[in-house]
Amino acid sequence: MKEEAVKEICSLEGATAFEISKAIAEALDAKKGRDIKIIHVEEKTVIAEYFVLCTGNSNTQVKALVGEVEYKLRERGVEPYNIEGRDNNSWILMDYSNVIVHVFSREAREFYNLDKLYGDSQTTSVSSED
């Protein structure tokens, strides 16, 4: 009975897009993701309310970061609609409906530069590591 109560408290079912974004960022931070940002993109695009950006030190870490997010959110009752990019592990996109997670290698993050593209949007930095 205690486990059910704890699980219910931790559930993200019915959570806002920002609450889901924060849970994603916490999972990424726990796995030592770098330069984690939550960007409010609702006024810039119709595909999501928030983007969560994160950089991994290697393709192996990118894969591990994605696995951690998938695991932690599944534990809390949230499944991704789709995950793209697992073939090369340099940029993996996770679609959680109102939240899109972008996990990049350093090179891919610099190349696609979503930080600059959405630079004038409200941004929350989650980790202090670069």
Structure confidence by residue, pLDDT tens digits, 19-54: 999 999 999 999 999 999 999 999 888 899 999 999
Does the pLDDT of residue 4 top 60, yes or no? no
Strands (E), the chain: 34-40, 50-56, 82-84, 91-95, 99-105, 123-125
Please state whether the predicted TM-score (pTM) of the whole model is above 0.95.
Answer: no
Question: Looking at residue 89, what is its pLDDT?
Answer: 86
Residue labelled with tokens 């959405």: 118
Q: Which CATH number covers residue 15?
A: 3.30.460.10
Percent of the chain with pLDDT strictly greater than 70:
90
* Number of domains comprising the chain: 1
Residue 86 CB neighbours (<10 A): 12
The residues, any chain, with a CB within 8 Å of residue 92's CB and separated by 6 or more, are 62, 63, 66, 83, 84, 85, 86, 102, 103
> Each residue of 64-109: pLDDT tens digit?
999 999 999 999 999 999 999 999 889 999 999 999 999 999 999 9
Structural domain that includes position 25: 2-125
Question: Looking at residue 45, what is its pLDDT?
Answer: 86
Token digits for 40?
Answer: 């409010």
Please check whether residue 130 lies inside any domain of the structure: no
Please check whether residue 64 lies inside any domain of the structure: yes
Q: Measured between alpha carbons, how far is 104 from 53 in angstroms, rounded to an integer?
A: 8
Please check whether residue 78 lies inside any domain of the structure: yes
Please check whether residue 103 lies inside any domain of the structure: yes
Token digits for 55?
Answer: 């950089």
